[in-house]
Structure 1
């Protein structure tokens, strides 16, 4: 079955990675197009899911970079807004394990200026799932507009949310204050163990899943890096192992996992409503597929999710 369209709403971010410079008084940066929702849209399109991205794209040098990457990956930009504001920039430093620490330059940038009129024109009749999250849900003035869009979409589309907490830019209290409301809108909640610790410090993952189920989310998936993932469907749980890989860095791995999860569910015809037909075995298969997508993203530098052909080669080699 061919997957139906998934509409992604959110930001593009220019990820600037520090590199050795010629002098100690200089800083060299290598800029790659990123941003959690943008990474997810790219990964979906490369996997073969029709992916439409609702985004406000600046006309600056970074905005042109974003557009080139999205178009080259096959993402539908028919509803992208041409924004007058500048693009969002994040400077990343990688530790020895490839984990990135970001500092953001995001004040009054294009991504957060959504208006109700811009989203009112969006037709969701062909959309099986709407995915959003990260800074788009907490950065004002656009965050309230995004929430209203999700509420309007929820009766006809599966809603997927990835909080992707960025404490250096927005205090975790802002996320905590809205999370129960998001769970009331969401059918799928995917977050990392770092997000969990920021949102519910000291809370065991299983208990956190029960809290978010009680607030309304049917499927909760907590990704745990090399430890794999915990998936919980209405309280039924399973552990999914990580796929071994040589890690270049982990940038975009969670976004790729989300894309793999949604792509697989969509290809199985399980998206498009409240996930009433979803079973734990379906979740297991989707999470294993998502883990392979994330592993391939970790094997290359930056947020560069795999194309479907690369994933098929990886699966063949894994079976050999």
Structure 2
């Protein structure tokens, strides 16, 4: 089972709290890159098609990805590696200020025939590179399943109506969509997240997952709706939590085709949400986007008692 992730790498510069005397921390990041790294940590065969500058930060991010076994394909080198200054509130929740350009023009390398394609975040909606992302996804989806995470960054989304249209084009390409309640609140303010998820299902996906931070997550298919609580854990920061959730989802569902995804039963969906929630819990318990490897994820499920956790 091979995975292709297409999207941005970003240097996350986490600001130290004012008056703490601590130094800022630099962590390799970018939502698609984090998903690829998480899949690599779980032992999956994964390639990331991205852009990295030939600068110290770009080389550091490349080495970070390769350390997890991720094959990195560079589709063009920007002038500098994209960055995001990350501010943390008292509860460890992250806000971002971006310096990002996305101009991917190179197609997927010849001979690369993934079984699954994952897209999302800045790369799927930011011109001019988004055109390449969507064209390659459309070309590959005849033989590969597709997942999408909008990972909305309001400062980079442009005019609201156009942004919603771009996101929904990606939703329509995907078999599996994962979004946060914050994503949905920006895209469709005032609407119930379940109503939005149901509307997205009608666009084409077999499964829509919605994360709600400390409140857990829910899954929606045309047959089932399942809600699962989140484990309780001391939060260091929330950087990369949703990406760890996504990596665990893709790992758990590896090998399932479109019809199988649509036929997932309530028990399977609950187990999926629990395992993905355990991955996110590990990540928020330590600084930066540090997803678990397989042994850590197995241990986290046992530690949090998620196999017997509440689902409805």
Q: TM-score, normalised by structure 1?
A: 0.89
Structure 2, unaligned runs of 5 or more: 307-312
Match of 1:167 in 2: 154
Q: Secondary structure at the match of 1:83?
A: coil
Q: Deviations over 1:86-113 (max 9, x none)?
A: 111110110011111111112xx4xx11
Residues 121-136 of structure 1 mapped to structure 2, 5 A cutoff: 121-125=109-113, 127-136=114-123
Q: Deviations over 1:182-210 (max 9, x none)?
A: 22211111010000000111111221111
Q: Deviations over 1:261-308 (max 9, x none)?
A: 110011xx3147773553343222222111110100010011111111
Match of 1:309 in 2: 295
1:88 corresponds to 2:74:
no
**In structure 1, C-alpha distance between the alignment counterparts of 2:55 and 2:269, rounded to whole Å:** 41
Seen in structure 2, the aligned counterparts of structure 1 residues 175 and 280 have a Cα distance that, compared at 3 Å, is: farther
Q: Deviations over 1:11-49 (max 9, x none)?
A: 01111111257999xx95321110100111111111122
**In structure 2, C-alpha distance between the alignment counterparts of 1:104 and 1:97, rounded to whole Å:** 21
Q: Residue 175 of structure 1: CA displacement?
A: 2.5
1:74 corresponds to 2:69:
yes
Q: Residue 234 of structure 1: CA displacement?
A: 1.8
Match of 2:54 in 1: 59
Q: Secondary structure at the match of 2:115?
A: strand
**Greater CA drift, 37-46 or 82-91:** 82-91
**In structure 1, C-alpha distance between the alignment counterparts of 2:12 and 2:240, rounded to whole Å:** 11
Which of 95, 115, 118 matches 1:101?
A: 95
Q: Secondary structure at the match of 1:92?
A: strand
Figure out how many residues of one structure are paired with residues of the other and give that number.
Answer: 305
Seen in structure 2, the aligned counterparts of structure 1 residues 84 and 183 have a Cα distance that, compared at 3 Å, is: closer
**In structure 2, C-alpha distance between the alignment counterparts of 1:19 and 1:176, rounded to whole Å:** 34
**In structure 2, C-alpha distance between the alignment counterparts of 1:225 and 1:162, rounded to whole Å:** 15
Which of 205, 220, 233 matches 1:217?
A: 205
Q: Residue 122 of structure 1: CA displacement?
A: 4.2
Residues 272-287 of structure 1 mapped to structure 2, 5 A cutoff: 275-287=261-273
1:185 corresponds to 2:182:
no
Q: Secondary structure at the match of 1:310?
A: helix
1:238 corresponds to 2:226:
yes
**In structure 1, C-alpha distance between the alignment counterparts of 2:150 and 2:19, rounded to whole Å:** 38
Match of 1:5 in 2: 2
Q: Secondary structure at the match of 1:19?
A: coil
**In structure 2, C-alpha distance between the alignment counterparts of 1:23 and 1:179, rounded to whole Å:** 39
Q: Residue 6 of structure 1: CA displacement?
A: 1.3
**In structure 2, C-alpha distance between the alignment counterparts of 1:168 and 1:28, rounded to whole Å:** 26
1:253 corresponds to 2:241:
yes
- Cα root mean square deviation, aligned: 2.3
Q: Secondary structure at the match of 1:102?
A: strand
Match of 1:176 in 2: 164
Verify the 8 A CA contact 2:117 2:144 in the aligned structure 1: yes
Verify the 8 A CA contact 1:158 1:274 in the aligned structure 2: no
Verify the 8 A CA contact 2:221 2:262 in the aligned structure 1: no
Q: Secondary structure at the match of 1:159?
A: strand
Q: Secondary structure at the match of 2:153?
A: coil
